[in-house]
Structure 1
Amino acid sequence: MSDGLAVPPGLSSLIESGLWPTIDSAHAQNLRPLAALEDIDRLAPSETSLFLYPPPFQTLASKIRKSRRFWAEYGALDEIDPELALVIGDFGLGSDAAIVLDYRRNPSEPPVLRLAWGHDGSHWVEAASDFGEFARLLRLG
């Protein structure tokens, strides 16, 4: 569990096997990415890096409490329930584009959403139908 939300089995497996970053190994991703650029592009066209957060994961609501102004202006909060969105990563330093598990529709296998930036502002878009698809797209394990 992270912030009260159950981590999907596929993510738990990657954590237990050591294939998901830990607090000690997370920053190494800045030098040695865990996913290839073409895989990141397939998940999120125009993004060029990926940073996976180590557990324990926080809800988007917890992140909002730390930087309310940014999220109020750019977080497309009318499109998501921050209490039911678990942040598992972003698209690298300075991206401000979170990757979340969205527990609103399916609490046992939540879809993966990403905050996408566009000319008309930011919006949450589905990156993968569930965590298993997310891991396959990025060839994480």
Structure 2
Amino acid sequence: MTDPPRLSIDRRSWMRWARQQASRWWAELSGDEGEVLAGFNAPVALIRLIEGGTFSPDCDSSRIEEIFRESDSYCFDLYDRSRIVRESCRFREKARSDGETRSLFVRPGLGIDPESTLLIGDLGADMPIALDYRIDLQRPRVLYLGVGGWIEVAENFDSFCNLILAVPGETFK
């Protein structure tokens, strides 16, 4: 367990630390075999897919358009472990240091808090796919940044896998 931050830090940093600790503690208590990526306990299914090399699904463009509701989605890219960490940390840093960037990502729709987010992929430039930990630290919902703002794709990562990887009649577990 890590030590709590010093009391001289700002409220946002304290809250980020508390969310990260809660995620780690829950993983230890529940016996999840998840892994902490960029400060959050990644869903076990995400780690299994990355390790199994099946986290880059072959989906036809009509399926992607159906799932993400974007007609101009040319690229569907799900990140590996190191890119998840790199892109998530970069996203947070830019949001902290650049008000224009923060306003770009905290947009209409559901909005998002970069400090409570793991970026796991994208649909092209400025269209990230994110795990949103604001509501549930253990079963984050999956959002993407579409033309109209942040849109929920699935209520949790297992549901997202069922959409992306499912064979008709089967569910992902």
- Superposition TM-score tier, normalisation by shorter sequence: 0.7 to 0.9
Find the structure with the greater CA-based Rg. Answer: 2
In 2, are the aligned partners of 1:53 and 1:89 still within 8 Å (CA)?
A: yes
Other-structure match for 2:114: 82
In the alignment, structure 2 segments of 5+ residues that lack a partner are 1-35, 167-171
Q: Measure how far apart 1:39 and its partner are.
A: 2.0
Q: Which runs of 4+ in 1 moved over 6 A?
A: none
Q: SS of 1:126's equivalent? A: strand
User: Which amino acid in the other structure matches residue 65 of structure 1?
Assistant: E
Other-structure match for 1:71: 101
User: Which amino acid in the other structure matches residue 89 of structure 1?
Assistant: G
In the alignment, structure 1 segments of 5+ residues that lack a partner are 22-32
In 2, are the aligned partners of 1:98 and 1:114 still within 8 Å (CA)?
A: yes
1:39-59 deviation line (CA, Å, top 9, x unaligned): 211221222331111113237
In 2, are the aligned partners of 1:51 and 1:91 still within 8 Å (CA)?
A: yes
Other-structure match for 2:80: 54
**Could you tell me how far apart the structure 2 residues matched to 1:128 and 1:35 are?**
17
Q: What is the TM-score normalised by the length of structure 2?
A: 0.62
- Equivalent of 1:13, from 13, 36, 48? 48
User: Which amino acid in the other structure matches residue 2 of structure 1?
Assistant: L
Percent identity, aligned pairs only, is 31
1:37-82 deviation line (CA, Å, top 9, x unaligned): 1221122122233111111323746324247365234212682211
Name the Cα RMSD after superposition: 2.5
1:17-52 deviation line (CA, Å, top 9, x unaligned): 12125xxxxxxxxxxx73221221122122233111
**Could you tell me how far apart the structure 1 residues matched to 2:53 and 2:163 are?**
19
